Amino acid sequence: MTLHQVRLSDSRFVERITQVTFTEHSREWTTPDGCWDIVVLGKQGKTIVLHTGLISRPVLLVNEPGDSYMSISFKPGVFVPQRPGSQMLDRGLLRPLASAHQFCFEAETLEIPGFENAEGLVERLVRRGRLAYDELVACVAEGRQPAATARTLQRHFRTVLGMTPKQFAQIKRACGAVELLRGGMAPSAVAAASGYADQPHLTRALKQLVQRTPAEIAREARATLPKS
């Protein structure tokens, strides 16, 4: 059994806060979602602070009983000026510990946050100029059309996220399809609703980005439903 908590945030910079504790050996895929993260890991009694960029492909994670993590997932458009997405795509950067309760982030020494007070860390990073916000990228990510040329958008996306608007759109479309499948919609209907040419196109996209077929995603969702 894995203990899993997720909450949304009122911060304009944060997509969600996640906390997971593993009670048994686990091998699972973390998949692209269009966000980058600051992650506090508990591994074999040690604390690790990891700064991850966006990922463009699934990454296999192995955890043992007692391992845990708390992640702050940042909204598209938010970036670290000293470490923009152009430097961080498919990468993770260890942020060194200053003490048992503090870590270093771009010359700042900060308290290691918890699930309930993660926004406090974000506010401190914003005040100290360690986080920035790109309105053009945020606008596109929210489904709005900014007053900018395709070339300008391309440049902003590559700098802030490390990928093109098209790559980002493919990831968000796959994430939306996964949610529809988990909600019980038939794969053929999901393909049509999500803008895929057909069901085989949907299957190929999901196998590439989330390592599972539509049938596997639907089956996993049914397995988690409470039994009547």
At 211 the pLDDT is 92
Give me the CATH code for the 165-224 domain, please: 1.10.10
Q: Please, which residues have CB within 8 angstroms of residue 202's CB and are 6 or more apart in sequence?
A: 177, 187, 190, 191, 194, 196, 214
At 1 the pLDDT is 60
Band of pLDDT at residue 121, cut at 50, 70 and 90:
very high
pLDDT > 70: percent of the chain: 97
**Which tens digit of pLDDT belongs to each residue from 46-91?**
999 999 999 999 999 999 999 999 999 999 999 999 999 999 999 9
Residue 34 pLDDT > 90: yes
Alpha-carbon distances, residue 91 vs 13, 71, 97, 185, 219 (angstroms): 21, 16, 19, 34, 31
Which residue reads 């048994």 in tokens? 24
- As annotated, the residues of the chain forming the CATH 2.60.120 domain(s) are 2-135
At 221 the pLDDT is 82
**Whether CATH 1.10.3470 fits 2-135:** no
**Which tens digit of pLDDT belongs to each residue from 143-190?**
888 889 999 999 999 999 999 999 999 999 999 999 999 999 999 999
Which helix (H) or strand (E) segment is 205 a member of?
helix 199-210
Q: Give the length of the chain.
A: 228
Which residue reads 């539509």 in tokens? 214
**Which tens digit of pLDDT belongs to each residue from 200-214?**
999 999 999 999 999
At 223 the pLDDT is 78
- As annotated, the residues of the chain forming the CATH 1.10.10 domain(s) are 165-224
pTM: 0.92
